[in-house]
């Protein structure tokens, strides 16, 4: 058995350990895991691995294909299918269309999606030829047969090495961050700010803001990950243009010099309650719109944008901080 270093993600680590002894692994945190495990176990061929994880398993992943990369590296089978929440992924060294098959089946009932993906990928696996065996003239033919077996074994080993290289090297092409660089800067800054709000003791609004900032950052990533997998490049470009300014404006409003200072030193501001309300409303509105956009991507619909953040635009100090953020990011 191979030994693999810990990923630091308990769901992935448990799955890696699990697939060393079974080709169907359903995490116990998945709703209805027992029935799903039983149903899949009778339907997944031995040359394929299916792993089902709860949505939490992918929330802290550094990029969209991280989970399946780790599981593919750990699996001995050439095809790996992974469901993380309702995200369906596949990687195969023998079926080139595995990724698109998984993407096309995503969105239906989880069990049905997995079974359809298993069946469709299985149908695409090329038939392997088995060397035949002759009869009679055993002594004369034995060297030829042995030579043929050795040759087939050598070819098989070479193919296996090539396949394994494909499995381990292919993710490097897919591991590019689907989140555009400018958006990634904003997401990273949001994540840097969240702990400052969480550290404010006895302030319910600060605690709520910390949670909402983390949720927004995660939703932004999910939007662009799904756009990258399911939509055309034009939709991703449109989303980037829409959220580049809005997220920069939110970063300025959520920065320590504005909302955090308003919450900890309201006595030093004019109309602090009004200002706090504006930022909270803006954070909620952008998050809601992004979730709506994710649903539109899942339904293969065009993106709709309705949030304007007019209240924040009117604050001159926020416009200055927004420009400063863009300048420090090299965007101006």
Binned at pLDDT 50, 70 and 90, residue 311 comes out as low
How far is it, in rounded angstroms, from Cα 41 to Cα 19? 12
Q: Is residue 15 a contact partner of residue 53, using CB atoms and an 8 Å limit?
A: yes
- pLDDT-derived band at 286, boundaries 50, 70, 90: very high
- What's the confidence (pLDDT) of residue 128? 58
CA distances to 14, 33, 311, 325 from 29, in Å = 12, 7, 42, 40
The pLDDT of residue 129 is above 60: no
For residues 265 and 282, what is the distance between their CA atoms, to the nearest angstrom? 21
Q: What is the pLDDT of residue 330?
A: 61
**Tokens 């034995």 sit at which residue?**
142
d(CA 291, CA 161): 43
Helix axes 233-254, 316-328, angle to 10 degrees: 120
pLDDT one-digit tens code per residue, 88-103: 889 898 988 888 888 8
pLDDT of 320: 58
Q: Which range (135-144, 227-236, 267-276, 318-327) has the least confidence?
A: 135-144
Alpha-helical (H) ranges within 175-203 are: 181-198
- 271, burial (CB in 10 Å: exposed 0-12, middle 13-18, buried 19+): exposed
Are 92 and 78 spatial neighbours (Cβ–Cβ below 8 Å)? yes
Q: What value does the mean pLDDT of the chain take? A: 80
Mean pLDDT for the stretch of residues 242-250: 90
How far does the chain reach from its first CA to its final CA, in angstroms?
A: 54
Cβ within 8 Å of residue 102, ≥6 positions away: 81, 88, 89, 90, 117
Residue 326, pLDDT above cutoff 90: no
Q: Which two tokens stand for residue 52?
A: 């089902």
Enter the DSSP assignment of 273.
H
- Tell me: the pLDDT tens digits for 137-193? 444 444 444 344 444 443 443 334 334 334 443 444 345 788 999 999 999 999 999
Q: Which pLDDT score is estimated for 270?
A: 93
233: pLDDT confidence band, cut at 50, 70 and 90? confident
CA-wise closest residue to 106 among 76, 75, 85, 129: 85
For residue 148, what pLDDT is reported?
Answer: 47
Q: For position 42, what pLDDT does the model report?
A: 83
Residues 36-89: pLDDT tens digits? Answer: 998 898 889 999 999 999 988 888 777 777 888 889 989 999 999 999 988 888
Q: Give tens-digit pLDDT for 146-156.
A: 344 444 443 44
Of the two residues 15 and 318, the one the predictor is more confident about is 15
Task: Name the residue among 73, 65, 261 with its Cα closest to residue 179.
Answer: 65
- What is the share, in percent, of the chain residues with pLDDT greater than 90? 43
* pLDDT number for residue 141: 43
């Amino acid at each position: 058995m191979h030994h693999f270093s810990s990923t630091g993600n308990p769901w992935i680590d448990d799955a890696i350990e699990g697939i060393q002894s079974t080709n169907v692994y359903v995490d116990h945190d998945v709703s209805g895991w027992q029935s799903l495990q039983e149903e899949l176990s009778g339907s997944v061929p031995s040359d394929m691995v299916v792993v089902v994880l709860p949505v939490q398993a992918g929330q802290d992943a550094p990029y969209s294909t991280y989970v399946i990369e780790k599981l593919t590296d750990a699996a001995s089978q050439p095809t790996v299918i992974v469901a993380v929440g309702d995200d369906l992924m596949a990687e195969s060294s023998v079926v080139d269309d595995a990724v698109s098959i998984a993407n096309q089946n995503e969105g239906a009932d989880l069990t049905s999606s997995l079974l359809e993906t298993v069946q469709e990928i299985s149908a695409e696996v090329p038939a392997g030829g088995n060397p035949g065996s002759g009869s009679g003239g055993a002594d004369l033919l034995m060297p030829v047969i042995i030579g043929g077996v050795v040759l087939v074994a050598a070819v098989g080993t070479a193919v296996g090495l090539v396949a394994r290289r494909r499995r381990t090297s292919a993710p490097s092409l897919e591991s590019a961050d689907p989140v555009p660089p400018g958006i990634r800067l904003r997401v990273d800054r949001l994540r840097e700010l969240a702990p400052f709000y969480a550290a404010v003791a006895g302030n319910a609004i600060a605690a709520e803001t910390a949670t909402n900032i983390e949720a927004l950052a995660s939703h932004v990533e999910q939007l662009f990950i799904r756009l990258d997998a399911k939509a055309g490049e034009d939709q991703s470009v449109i989303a980037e243009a829409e959220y580049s300014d809005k997220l920069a404006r939110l970063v300025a409003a959520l920065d320590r010099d504005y909302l955090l200072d308003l919450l900890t030193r309201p006595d030093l501001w004019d109309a602090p309650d009004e200002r706090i309300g504006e930022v909270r409303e803006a954070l909620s509105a952008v998050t809601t719109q992004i979730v709506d956009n994710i649903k539109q991507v899942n339904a293969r619909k065009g993106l709709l944008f309705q949030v304007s953040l007019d209240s924040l635009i009117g604050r001159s100090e926020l416009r200055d901080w927004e420009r400063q953020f863009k300048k420090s990011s090299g965007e101006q």
